[in-house]
Amino acid sequence: MKLKNILSPALAALLALSLVSCGREAAPTVTESETGTKIVWESLPETETETDTETETETETETEAETETETEQAVDVPPAPDPDLWETVTPQPDPTPYIPTGDGTAPLVLMYHLVQDEVTGSAENLFVRPSELRGHIEALIEKGYTFIFADEFGYSDQKTVIMTFDDGYLDNYTEMFPIIKEYNVKVTVFMISDWIDCPDFMTSDMIREMSSSGLVSFQSHTANHYTLTSLGDDQLKEQFSRSKTRIESLTGRPVTALSYPGGFYNANTIEIAKDYYDFAYTTHSSNTTAGYSVYELPRIRVLRGMSKASMAYILP
């Protein structure tokens, strides 16, 4: 039920059992490192980890598996899943400059993950308190923002904001949904489609209910949250098409926006994504999306402890 079940090594075996019904083949092990707790899928190659570029330091963690399984990876082995929950990275590359057509103001985009008072595991920053979320919404309303969905991205004569929640955690239903109903504002959940109905993630019924409310748009965070830059073209197409199809069939609404898992993407990722999606969101940080490609849209990473006053302060 709680995320500590995922993050506790003692319960890794239990997790492995629960994952069988969630479409995973290999048993994970949980490791601790400077960059946080991370689940590693045995028999699958580990991917490299970069520290936040803003810290001006760069370290790379390479495992033996990375070199030893290079040929295997070229054949048909996907990399280990790398959920945001275990990341502290802001990956490459720099966004491509983009000159928008048309007039108006570009949307502001906010990136959330979990909405809980209680913190489980080591990724404390990702657990925004419900009271803090209320404050952020109030600040946005008081500043005159209109709330739009991620698949409604576009320049407008109004100030617009896109609130996004990555991964699709259960608390998005139990904690976030009642709050946005109270304020009657729209948000977007980037759902990992294979994790629907899995422990700690939202169920099909919850997703249908939220989508039907008209306040929540469910868009794609791929099927398995693999690091996209490690996948071959066929695997990319499969991740994009399968997640899009599953979510569309659940909600009956189009899925035209993507959030890159962990923020990892490259030129090839974008080229293939263009066949499935109209917009793609990154983990680059900027308080404006003006001047960015619609396939490299930046988001403000909202972290635990951010007050209403802090949100009001950074809002253009």
Give the H/E segment covering residue 68: helix 64-68
Q: How many residues bind Zn ion (CB under 5 A)?
A: 4
Q: Using the minimum distance from each CB to Zn ion, give the nearer residue, 114 or 185.
A: 114
Q: Does 84 bind Zn ion (CB under 5 A)?
A: yes
Q: Does 87 bind Zn ion (CB under 5 A)?
A: no
CA distance 180 to 187: 8
State in angstroms the smallest separation of the CB of 167 from Zn ion.
4
In the chain, beta strands by DSSP E: 28-33, 36-41, 108-112, 114-115, 127-128, 146-147, 160-167, 187-191, 216-220, 257-259, 279-281, 300-301
Q: Does 200 bind Zn ion (CB under 5 A)?
A: no
Residues in the chain: 316
Radius of gyration of the CA atoms of the chain, in A: 19
Site track 260-299 with Zn ion (rule: CB under 5 A), x = hit = -x--------------------------------------
CA distance 176 to 188: 11
Nearest alpha carbon to residue 219 among 145, 270, 279: 279
Q: Would you say 121 and 7 are in contact if contact means Cβ atoms under 8 Å apart?
A: yes
Listed ranges 166-174, 226-234, 243-251, 274-282: which one lies at the site for Zn ion (CB under 5 A): 166-174
Please identify which residue in 46, 151, 166, 194 interacts with Zn ion, judged by CB under 5 A.
Answer: 166
Q: Using the minimum distance from each CB to Zn ion, give the nearer residue, 115 or 139.
A: 115
Q: Would you say 315 and 143 are in contact if contact means Cβ atoms under 8 Å apart?
A: yes
Nearest alpha carbon to residue 220 among 182, 193, 184: 193
Nearest alpha carbon to residue 229 among 42, 59, 45, 52: 45
Listed ranges 59-67, 198-206, 253-261, 277-285: which one lies at the site for Zn ion (CB under 5 A): 253-261
Q: Using the minimum distance from each CB to Zn ion, give the nearer residue, 106 or 270.
A: 270
Listed ranges 61-69, 256-264, 283-291, 303-311: which one lies at the site for Zn ion (CB under 5 A): 256-264
State in angstroms the smallest separation of the CB of 300 from Zn ion.
16
Q: Using the minimum distance from each CB to Zn ion, give the nearer residue, 220 or 289.
A: 220
CA distance 218 to 248: 8
Please identify which residue in 82, 132, 167, 171 interacts with Zn ion, judged by CB under 5 A.
Answer: 167
Q: Using the minimum distance from each CB to Zn ion, give the nearer residue, 151 or 166.
A: 166
Q: Using the minimum distance from each CB to Zn ion, give the nearer residue, 106 or 297.
A: 297
The residue sitting closest to Zn ion, measured at its beta carbon, is 84
Q: Does 46 bind Zn ion (CB under 5 A)?
A: no
Interface contacts to Zn ion, rule CB under 5 A: 84, 166-167, 261
